[in-house]
Amino acid sequence: MTGIQLVFIVVAVMTLGAALMAVLTSNMVHAALWLILALFGVAIIFVLLNAGFLAVVQVVIYIGAISIIMIFAIMLTRRLITDIGTQTSSSWPWAALIAVALFGGLAWMLSTWGGFNTTPQLLSPRSDQVVELGQALVSPNAFVIPFEVASVLLLAALIGAIFIAWDRK
Amino acid sequence: MIPLSWYLILSAALFCIGLFGVLSRKNAVAILIGIELMLNAVNVNLVAFWRYITPQAITGQAFAVLVFAVAAAEVAVGLALIISIYRRRNTVVADEIDMLKF
């Protein structure tokens, strides 16, 4: 077992443990903090996959924006949350069954797939991924249409969120 | 080196944990937390396939960036809806938000 495999195992266990705590703990603020740890683990996974830019974006957008806005929402709605007591609905055994069955099915399907144990190809040392990604996102031959649609979606979400959360007396 | 299978199993496990959170939680914000975990699992898959199968094309990373944008939009609208419902109905429990139920 090489060092990088050890790093992967430690990070994977941390990510999955934090994710489990995020969906199991009954205190919502703690759940949001566990979510931050899980997102950070995913950022480290991106670094292990040579996608440094996505790791930075993960930290900035997911941890810096989405988690913080979630903590804001939890605090704005907190008074009732602590009164509820249990946080899981009565049908949680069915949810656990579905999740375990889906994981078993996915693992079985992946294990029958031929490319399951592919090892990584070498990245060409000449290419700069950030430059490539930036050019692909604005190139007419690549992703300019999805990129523009995503920006329109973000604008619509911005306006929609303001409109929905507006306090009309 | 790390085989591709480890990343795929990790992301499958992360997705299933998120699915469990979405299905089992009562609190609407906790359901959003589960959705975030599922979207992250998808991103791990996209980037892992990019790195192992097609490192010469940047497609996997480009789609991961689009998933980031969609996740941000989804959280913004979702939390605005939750806060609006909390203000009107004084609840964030998904079971009690049943105005549309006939």
Q: Does A141 touch chain B (CB under 8 A)?
A: no
Question: Per-residue pLDDT averaged across A132-136, rounded?
Answer: 85
Q: Does B97 touch chain A (CB under 8 A)?
A: no
pLDDT values of chain B reduced to their tens digit, one per residue, 102 residues = 788 888 999 999 999 999 999 998 888 888 999 999 999 999 999 999 888 888 888 888 889 999 999 999 999 999 999 888 888 888 778 777 787 776
How far apart CA A38 and CA B41 sit, in angstroms, is 11
Put simply, the answer to whether B33 touches A31 (Cβ < 8 Å) is yes
- On whether residue B101 sits in a domain, the answer given is no
Q: Write out the two tokens for B90.
A: 């004084």
Q: Does B25 touch chain A (CB under 8 A)?
A: yes
Query: How high is the ipTM of this complex?
Result: 0.91
Mind telling me how many Å the CA of A130 is from chain B's nearest CA?
Answer: 10
CB contact residues (below 8 A), chain B span 69-88, against chain A: 69-77, 79-84, 86-87
Q: Which of B64, B59, B3, B55 is nearest to A50 (CA)?
A: B55
Q: Which of B45, B15, B64, B6 is nearest to A23 (CA)?
A: B15
Mind telling me how many Å the CA of A20 is from chain B's nearest CA?
Answer: 6
Contact A153, B72 (CB under 8 A): no
Mind telling me how many Å the CA of B96 is from chain A's nearest CA?
Answer: 12
Say which DSSP state B97 is in.
-
Long-range contacts formed by A7-12: CB under 8 A, 24+ apart: A7/A48, A8/A45, A8/A48, A8/B2, A8/B6, A11/A41, A11/A44, A11/A45, A11/A48, A12/A41, A12/A45, A12/B6, A12/B10
- The identity of residue B12, as a single letter, is A
Continuous segment of H or E residues that includes residue A117: none
Question: Per-residue pLDDT averaged across A31-55, rounded?
Answer: 91
Mind telling me how many Å the CA of B15 is from chain A's nearest CA?
Answer: 8
Count how many pairs of residues, chain A against chain B, have C-beta atoms within 8 Å.
252
- On whether residue B58 sits in a domain, the answer given is yes
The number of domains in chain B is: 1
Q: Which of A17, A110, A130, A30 is nearest to A78 (CA)?
A: A30
What CATH number matches the domain at A1-83, 3.40.50.10540, 3.40.50.1100, 1.10.10.60, 1.20.120.1200? 1.20.120.1200
What are the chain A neighbours of B25 within 8 Å (beta carbons)?
A: 23, 87-89
CATH of residue B20's domain is 1.10.287.3510
Domain hosting B90: range is 4-96
Q: What SS3 class is residue A45?
A: helix
What are the residue ranges spanned by the domains of chain A? 1-83, 129-169
The answer to whether residue A123 scores a pLDDT higher than 80 is no
Q: Return the residue matching tokens 């950030």.
A: A130
Question: Per-residue pLDDT averaged across A91-95, rounded?
Answer: 86
Q: What SS3 class is residue A10?
A: helix
